[in-house]
């Protein structure tokens, strides 16, 4: 069923929109006082993520507060390896860690893709709960970490500054790394398809650590497995298309290859020029991004100017051949916990106002041929 506000879905299909849609990575998070209160009631992050009722509550909080054009499921990219039995835990101030990292040949060979309905049912229950609570207002985005990014956490045991352990495996035992990535690709595809079946209307792959690789290694160990996931995705559910977005932090050098992986949109970090990216991919995909999250700390006039700059960088919505380009406004990475909610409200208003102004006569007319 098409949501009342389907601007995001139309932009992902590169169809005309009255304004540029906006949502923000990590839009449900610690910068919101209501999120912190819900997390306090939950006890900790994992308890919050494992409760469909509370996860639904925090998913909707930014949608209720701001005029955002989408909700994104509140969860964590590490739910999949946790479901594989690696023992996910969170330590305050230190981030996620696994009790049983994947380091040896026997560790890798013991891995298997979990049944998402059996091991990740709480996430699917949250998807269904959020869809019901949204009441068709805006679309819901589901997501997962990419096979490579999950492998980084699984082998390192948590975050890393130099990725020494996972890169050592990559270079010394590429056979093990490929085996690990094959399991991850199957697991991620199954997980995202289960989210789609439960009600996710868009899915996104976060390749947070793709940018730490060399060009050849990125293509072999990251992009190849992201492409496998995208190829396995359910492209339609109950008669409606289900678009996919791929975001590679630090992946600007490989933009053309990412756009060719089969996704509907490519997410850009803040180091890329949107207009140049649009030229490079030749209109083959929509583009998502890419305001520097630090711009939200600026005075409102500066923030509005930066939002306008991003919109103007993308350019006119219509391509030279009369087709539409498709732009989804977002940050170049996740929102900082230190961001003031008032700044987010100003940004959302600025994007809608400025994009409507920049469209001018090119905007679809009310009652016209705005696609379903």
Catalytic center residues: 26, 30, 39, 76, 153
Burial of 33 (0-12, 13-18, 19+ CB in 10 A): exposed
Q: Please give the structure tokens belonging to residue 105.
A: 């040949």
Asked if residue 222 lies in contact with residue 146, where contact means CB atoms within 8 angstroms, the answer is yes
| Long-range CB pairs of 256-262, under 8 A, 24+ apart, other chains included | 256/280, 256/281, 257/219, 257/223, 258/223, 258/226, 259/284, 259/285, 260/284, 261/223, 261/226, 261/227, 261/230, 262/227, 262/230, 262/231
* Contact partners, residue 342, CB within 8 Å, separation at least 6: none
Asked if residue 244 lies in contact with residue 203, where contact means CB atoms within 8 angstroms, the answer is yes
For the chain, where are the E strands, in sequence order?
Answer: 71-72, 88-91, 95-98, 140-145, 202-207, 236-237, 240-241, 244-248, 265-267, 286-288, 327-328
The closest of 347, 342, 55, 23 to 201, measured between CA atoms, is: 23
Q: Please give the structure tokens belonging to residue 35.
A: 């999120």
Tell me how many degrees the CA angle 118-202-282 measures, rounded to the nearest 5.
Answer: 135
Q: Please give the structure tokens belonging to residue 231.
A: 């190829």
Asked if residue 38 lies in contact with residue 58, where contact means CB atoms within 8 angstroms, the answer is yes
The C-alpha torsion from 221 through 222 and 223 to 227, rounded to 10°, is: 100
Q: Please give the structure tokens belonging to residue 121.
A: 């049912």
Asked if residue 68 lies in contact with residue 348, where contact means CB atoms within 8 angstroms, the answer is yes
């Amino acid at each position: 069923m098409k949501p009342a506000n389907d601007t995001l879905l139309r932009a992902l299909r590169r169809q005309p929109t009255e304004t540029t849609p906006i949502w923000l990575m990590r839009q449900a998070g610690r910068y919101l006082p209501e999120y912190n209160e819900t997390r306090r009631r939950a006890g900790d992050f994992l308890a919050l993520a494992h409760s469909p009722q509370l996860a639904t509550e925090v998913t909707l909080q930014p949608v209720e507060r701001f005029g955002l054009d989408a909700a994104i499921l509140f969860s964590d990219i590490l739910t999949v390896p946790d479901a594989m039995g690696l023992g996910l835990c969170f330590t305050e101030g230190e981030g996620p860690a696994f009790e049983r990292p994947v380091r040896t040949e026997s560790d890798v060979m013991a891995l298997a893709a979990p049944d998402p309905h059996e091991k990740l049912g709480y996430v699917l229950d949250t998807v269904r709960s959020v869809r019901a609570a949204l009441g068709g207002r805006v679309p819901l985005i589901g997501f997962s970490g990419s096979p490579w990014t999950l492998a980084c956490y699984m082998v390192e045991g948590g975050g890393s500054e130099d990725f020494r352990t996972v890169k050592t495996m990559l270079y010394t035992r590429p056979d093990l790394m490929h085996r690990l990535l094959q399991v991850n690709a199957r697991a991620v595809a199954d997980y995202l398809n289960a989210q789609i079946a439960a009600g996710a209307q868009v899915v996104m792959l976060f390749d947070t650590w793709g940018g730490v690789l060399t060009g050849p290694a990125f293509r072999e160990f990251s992009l190849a497995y992201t492409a496998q996931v995208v190829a396995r995705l359910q492209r339609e559910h109950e008669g409606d298309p289900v678009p996919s977005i791929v975001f590679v932090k630090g992946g600007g050098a490989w933009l053309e290859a990412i756009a060719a992986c089969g996704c509907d949109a490519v997410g850009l970090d803040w180091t890329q020029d949107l207009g140049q990216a649009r030229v490079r991919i030749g209109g083959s995909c929509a583009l998502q991004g890419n305001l520097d999250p630090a711009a939200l700390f600026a005075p409102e006039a500066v923030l509005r100017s930066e939002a306008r700059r991003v919109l103007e960088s993308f350019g006119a919505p219509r391509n030279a051949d009369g087709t539409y380009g498709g732009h989804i406004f977002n940050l170049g990475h996740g929102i900082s916990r230190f961001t003031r909610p008032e700044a987010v409200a100003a940004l959302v208003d600025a994007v809608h106002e400025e994009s409507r102004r920049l469209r001018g006569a090119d905007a679809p007319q009310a009652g016209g041929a705005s696609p379903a």
